[in-house]
Amino acid sequence: MGKQTDPKPISQRHFLKKSGWVAAGVTVAVYGSYRQVRAKMPALPTFDAPGAQDGVAWVQALAFGRIRFFCPRMEMGQGAGLGLSQVVAEELNIDQADIECILPDTDQAPPFQMTVGSQSIAHFFDPVSWGAAQLREALRRLAAGG
């Protein structure tokens, strides 16, 4: 084996200059490949609250007076499906038992917003209520022959 030599001491200034160049190189490499990296990342949910018109797509009339409600929130113990189904039932003046609540499936719906805390009822009450009210009025017009 060869003769061992002591490592050359490095000054703090020299170390900081060299590590700064390494950081700059990593930054340039990441920035340059951002599009390729972003294309391979999973879609992340948005943090935007739903608009009132979003609720129209979540409520559907079925045969024999049944209603299908596509709950926009995943059930994680907060009772979002039940609570929002009750909002639909109240708006349509029907029993909650007559509502088929479909929980979201990530294969069928785009990522929307995370289910956290108690935001489900607070953020989704108005759009769900508005969507159910729109369905109620459409059914009322249909029943009136118009």
Dump pLDDT digits (tens) for 15-66.
777 777 777 776 766 666 666 666 666 655 555 677 778 888 899 999 888 9
- Percent of the chain with pLDDT strictly greater than 90: 31
The arrangement of secondary structure in 52-143, i.e. its CATH architecture, is 2-Layer Sandwich (3.30)
Amino acid at 70: F
Tokens of 4: 């061992």
Those residues with Cβ within 8 angstroms of residue 99's Cβ, 6 or more apart along the chain or in another chain: 66, 67, 68, 69, 85, 88, 89
What is the pLDDT, as a whole number, of residue 134? Answer: 94
CA 105/CA 114 separation, integer angstroms: 13
pLDDT per residue as tens digits for the range 107-123: 766 555 566 666 788 88
Distance (Å) of CA 113 to CA 48, 55, 74, 135: 7, 14, 10, 24
CA 11/CA 78 separation, integer angstroms: 57
**Among residues 117, 114, 87, which one has the least CA distance to residue 99?**
87
pLDDT per residue as tens digits for the range 36-50: 666 666 655 555 677
